Amino acid sequence: MARHTVLGKGPIGRTLARHLADAGHEVHVLSRSGPRPGSPARTEVASGGSVAHHVVDGADADALTTHARGSAALFNCVNPAYHRWVTDWPPVAAALLTAAERTGAVLVITGNLYGYGAGNQHMHEDDAPATRETKGRVRARMWADALARHEAGALRTTEVRGSDYLGPGAEAHAHAGPRMLTPLLAGKVLRPVGSADQPHTWTYLPDFADALVRAAELPAAWGRPWHVPSPEPLTLRQVAERFAAAAGAPAPRISPVPVAVVRALGLVNPMMREVAAMTYQFTEPFVADDAASRRALGLQPTDWDTIVARTLAAHRADHPGPVATRP
């Protein structure tokens, strides 16, 4: 059993913590709010592993160091509000670098595909950052700073990059989470942003956790980024059709929100302004190549039938209610 520290308790952080605990590890989850209301600060699982929650400011390097000391890996699973990345990310990223240097824990960064930028319709880990968008630049700078410390011998790090995620535990804002499933199962119109007919890579949350853990424990994975092994790309329409068929719900009715409308909303809403900047992900192909990571990490993605079945079961457990029937 090893000790691991996870900063952040969003969908990825929670999935990762449970994955590690189920493998028998001692997991310490750090967040600004601690355990969820009504939940214990520490829980044990049948495997002998445990998850303990601590209230910690992610920008406090001393606090991160204290909690990460003795950890095999320090996982960055934080995700600030979209419109606050420029202000909120740099101090957290700097604190994590300091804590990794002080403790010797492998810093494993939960990354995304924003740094590649628009127009890169088939992304590879070796592609140079080309984004002109603010959030992508923030993420690209974070990885560049971590890699520079790694190459200088100050710490050990890797970044695991996933696409839009889905699966048990996905929250309301996820494109293929409750935002899609709730109206789909009720037979209502889906309102995705931009388009529902461009090929898109989707990352299953448990596969994300698998890749983070494997990258942390494999020295050959350190010093470079990896894409989470993900199933074959599907359009959002195809994803919705698979879920509808599995649930016995009517075929999806889809009416995308035009990009122009999202941009107009962004004039008065900072969050929508940042969403508008990312609409290229759904108005052009958005596909991540994971061949290198499958070979290096020794992982294969979960198949679509399993993803749909498990995600649908989890959604129904969290959102009980009747499902619209096919005519």
- Tell me, what CATH number does 236's domain have? 3.90.25
Residues 100 and 176 grouped into a single domain: no
Return the structure tokens found at 144: 């560049």
Residues 63 and 73 grouped into a single domain: yes
Residues 29 and 152 grouped into a single domain: yes
Task: State how far the Cα of 242 lies from the Cα of 296, in Å rounded to an integer.
Answer: 30
Residues 26 and 45 grouped into a single domain: yes
Residue 228 and residue 111 in contact, taking contact as beta carbons nearer than 8 Å: no
CATH number of the CATH domain containing 139: 3.40.50.720
Domain boundary among 190, 212, 227: 227
Residues 134 and 194 grouped into a single domain: no
Residues 212 and 64 grouped into a single domain: yes
Residues 175 and 88 grouped into a single domain: no
Residues 50 and 188 grouped into a single domain: no
Residues 43 and 185 grouped into a single domain: no
In a domain, 34, yes or no: yes
Look up the pTM and report it.
0.96
Alpha helices in the chain (DSSP H): 11-22, 61-68, 85-103, 134-151, 178-185, 205-217, 236-247, 259-266, 270-277, 280-283, 291-297, 304-318
In a domain, 55, yes or no: yes
Task: State how far the Cα of 135 lies from the Cα of 83, in Å rounded to an integer.
Answer: 9
In a domain, 28, yes or no: yes
One digit per residue, the tens of pLDDT, for the chain of length 327 reads: 899 999 999 999 999 999 999 999 999 999 999 998 888 999 999 999 999 999 999 999 999 999 999 999 999 999 999 999 999 999 999 999 999 999 999 999 999 999 999 999 899 999 999 999 999 999 999 999 999 999 999 999 999 999 999 999 999 889 999 999 999 999 999 999 999 999 999 999 999 999 999 999 999 999 999 999 999 999 999 999 999 999 999 999 999 999 999 899 889 999 889 988 999 999 999 999 999 999 999 999 999 999 999 999 999 998 887 787 776
In a domain, 239, yes or no: yes
Residues of the chain by 3-state class (helix, strand, coil), percent to 5: 45, 15, 40
User: What is the residue range of 272's domain?
Assistant: 166-200+232-285+302-318
Domain boundary among 178, 212, 227: 227
In a domain, 292, yes or no: no
In a domain, 136, yes or no: yes
Residues 118 and 184 grouped into a single domain: no
How many domains would you assign to the chain? 2
Residues 58 and 151 grouped into a single domain: yes
Q: Which residues pair with 107 in a beta bridge?
A: 74, 157
Residues 15 and 150 grouped into a single domain: yes
In a domain, 82, yes or no: yes
Pairing of strands 50-55, 42-44: antiparallel
In a domain, 295, yes or no: no
Say whether 191 sits in a helix, a strand or coil.
coil
